[in-house]
Structures are given as structure tokens and as C-alpha cells.
């Protein structure tokens, strides 16, 4: 059992949770994720680490309450326990050696971009962080990023923070101003990563994107997390989650993401009806159905 030490709503959609997990806190690195299960009838979900404190023995996750399990998770309190909290999974982001970096966070992806920026900044790199949110009430980790970056630009789609535009517009401006990046990291919606990668490709800037497909087992067995990279498919859980942003087939990733949406809706409805077991069964059945159809 893994005790929850702290739960805090960061805004209407996003929750921060600190979990006691000593062994993982000592090993996990930026870019890696954990798989958690709330109880014996719950599904396993992957969540990328936001922060790890090996002294306190804690791992922090930040998640959006959008699916059946994350909605249930957001209702938990400090003192509750999680049945499983396993990891680290996936490969750490390759951050060594970069000197001038732009770290791009889109919405919730900012929670994952933050430890990458922090690591790079602590290694002595110049780190410009560019984040984008739909509106100012959704802005995440502004103070934390300010403390661990060379500069921070926050964009909003509606301009409510006085800085309207997409993250790609801010990145283009930085490049036009002469920022000579040797690495760009992008974490956020697939469509955002697609356009960040298209921009950096024009300038030949090495770019990693963090892919976030549906994951079931996190061990390379189920095939649910396949991502088309170059000529073949890779498993985000064991080969990623970071991939060369110039090789990822984003349209294929969006198509696969959309094909799983129906089972998420079934699971959500079941949870709303306080029937978590039915949600898991429905999700598993639909998942098998999709795998069976070779999706």
C-alpha cells in the first residue's frame, strides 16, 4: 500500500498528488512514469513523474481528471492509500550535454516538462520554457518554472494573461531573435507536438517529444501504446515515452487516440454511475476488441 501524503487541486481540472514511494523516489528520472492502481477493481494507469524527493521518499504526480480513474483519484485525500504504485517505467529523457534548450509544455504536459527544465537548468544549461494554456485560470507551475529556468513565456489561447497565441508562435519568435537551440523538448497535446516538430525541422534543431498513448500493462506486452516512428511501430512504454520528434507519425497517433475514445466514454459513464468494476470490464473488452481489429 502506498500512502497519499498530499492532494491539492491546482485548478478546476488538474490535481497534484504526493505519494510515499521511497524506492521509486530514489530511482525515477525526468521523463519516466509510474503505473498506479487505486484498488483491486481499478485499472492501471500511467502517470509521468512531476517531482521526486528521495529524502522525503515521495513522488509527485500531476493529473487531469478526465478519465474514469483520474476522476476517482482526484477525489482521494491525504491519508488514503493506493494499492499499486509501480515504477519507474520508460526511459529517462536524454538531457545530458544540451547547452541551449527550449522546453515546451502544452497544458497538462507542463507538469512533465517542468522536471526536464529543472534538471537541465541545474546542469547549467540555458533553458527557455514556453508553456501554453487555453486560459489564464489553467496556468500551471508558473513559480516553480520561474525558479528553475532562464526565462519563461506563458501563452494563452484566449489572451487572458495578456499574451495571446500558441506555443509555436513564441518558439518562432525566440528563434527569430537568435536563440540558437541545440535541443527542443515538447510535451503536450499531440497536435502541439506535431507543429513544434514541424517548426524545429525547418531549422534542423534536435527535438524530442513525449508520447502519451493509452497504456495497459506498461511492459511492452499488450501493444496498446504503439506509436509509429519512422518506418515502424515502437512501444511508448518500453521504447519511449520520448521519441525523435521529426520521425513520429502524429496523424497516426491522433487516429489511434480517437479510436480509444469510445471505451473511455463507456468507462466514464460507469464511474459516474459509481460502478468502477463495470468500467474496468468495459474498458478491457473494448481494448481487446480494438487490438483484435489490429488498431
Write out the residues near ligand FES by the rule CB under 6 A: 215-218, 220-225, 235, 237
Angle of helix 167-176 versus helix 190-203 axis, rounded to 10? 20
The least CB distance from residue 261 to ligand FES, in Å, is 17
35 binds ligand NAD (CB under 6 A): no
Which of 210, 218, 239, 280 binds ligand NAD (CB under 6 A)? It is 210
Quickly list H helices, the chain: 22-27, 68-74, 110-122, 142-147, 167-176, 190-203, 236-239, 250-259, 261-272, 276-292
Please answer whether residues 214 and 235 qualify as being in contact, where contact means their C-beta atoms are separated by less than 8 angstroms: no
The least CB distance from residue 40 to ligand NAD, in Å, is 26
168 binds ligand NAD (CB under 6 A): yes
Question: Strand pairing partners for 126?
Answer: 100
Pairing of strands 84-89, 45-53: unpaired
Judged by beta carbon, residue 216 or residue 282, the one nearer ligand FES is 216
Judged by beta carbon, residue 23 or residue 135, the one nearer ligand NAD is 135
Q: Which stretch binds ligand NAD (CB under 6 A): 36-44, 107-115, 117-125, 262-270?
A: 107-115
Q: How many residues bind ligand NAD (CB under 6 A)?
A: 23
Give just the sign of the alpha carbon dihedral 192, 218, 227, 256. Answer: negative
Which of 46, 87, 115, 188 binds ligand NAD (CB under 6 A)? It is 188
189 binds ligand NAD (CB under 6 A): yes
Distance in angstroms (rounded) separating the CA atoms of residues 28 and 34: 9
195 binds ligand NAD (CB under 6 A): yes
Please answer whether residues 227 and 202 qualify as being in contact, where contact means their C-beta atoms are separated by less than 8 angstroms: no
Judged by beta carbon, residue 24 or residue 166, the one nearer ligand NAD is 166
Which of 42, 88, 90, 106 binds ligand NAD (CB under 6 A)? It is 106
The least CB distance from residue 288 to ligand FES, in Å, is 13
Judged by beta carbon, residue 222 or residue 284, the one nearer ligand FES is 222
- Output DSSP code: residue 230: T
Q: Which of 89, 65, 61 is nearest to 5 (CA)?
A: 61
Pairing of strands 100-106, 183-187: parallel
Residues of this chain that interact with ligand NAD (CB under 6 A) are 48, 106-109, 112, 132-134, 155, 157, 166-168, 187-189, 191-192, 195, 210-212
Amino acid at each position: 500500500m502506498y500512502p497519499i501524503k498530499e492532494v491539492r487541486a491546482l485548478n478546476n481540472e488538474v490535481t497534484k498528488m504526493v505519494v510515499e514511494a521511497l524506492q521509486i523516489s530514489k530511482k525515477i528520472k525526468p521523463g519516466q512514469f509510474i503505473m498506479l492502481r487505486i484498488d483491486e477493481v481499478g485499472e492501471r494507469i500511467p502517470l509521468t513523474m512531476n517531482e521526486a524527493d528521495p529524502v522525503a521518499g515521495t513522488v509527485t504526480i500531476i493529473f487531469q481528471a478526465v478519465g474514469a480513474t483520474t476522476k476517482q483519484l482526484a477525489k482521494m485525500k491525504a491519508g488514503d492509500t493506493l494499492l499499486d504504485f509501480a515504477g519507474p517505467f520508460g526511459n529517462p529523457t536524454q538531457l545530458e550535454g544540451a547547452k541551449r534548450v527550449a522546453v515546451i509544455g502544452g497544458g497538462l504536459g507542463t507538469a512533465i516538462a517542468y522536471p526536464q527544465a529543472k534538471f537541465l537548468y541545474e546542469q547549467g544549461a540555458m533553458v527557455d520554457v514556453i508553456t501554453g494554456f487555453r486560459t489564464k485560470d489553467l496556468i500551471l507551475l508558473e513559480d516553480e518554472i520561474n525558479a528553475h529556468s532562464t526565462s519563461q513565456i506563458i501563452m494563452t489561447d484566449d489572451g487572458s494573461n495578456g499574451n495571446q497565441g500558441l506555443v509555436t508562435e513564441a518558439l518562432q519568435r525566440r528563434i527569430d531573435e537568435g536563440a540558437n537551440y541545440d535541443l527542443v523538448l515538447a510535451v503536450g497535446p499531440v497536435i502541439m507536438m506535431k507543429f513544434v516538430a514541424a517548426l524545429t525541422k525547418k531549422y534542423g534543431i534536435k527535438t524530442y517529444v513525449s508520447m502519451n498513448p493509452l497504456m495497459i500493462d506498461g511492459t511492452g506486452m499488450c501493444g496498446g501504446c504503439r506509436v509509429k516512428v519512422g518506418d515502424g511501430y515502437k512501444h511508448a512504454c518500453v521504447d519511449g515515452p520520448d521519441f525523435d520528434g521529426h520521425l513520429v507519425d502524429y496523424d497516426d497517433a491522433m487516429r489511434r487516440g480517437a479510436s480509444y475514445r469510445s471505451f473511455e466514454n463507456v468507462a466514464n459513464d460507469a464511474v459516474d454511475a459509481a460502478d468502477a468494476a463495470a468500467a474496468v470490464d468495459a474498458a478491457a473488452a473494448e481494448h481487446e476488441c480494438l487490438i483484435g481489429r489490429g488498431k
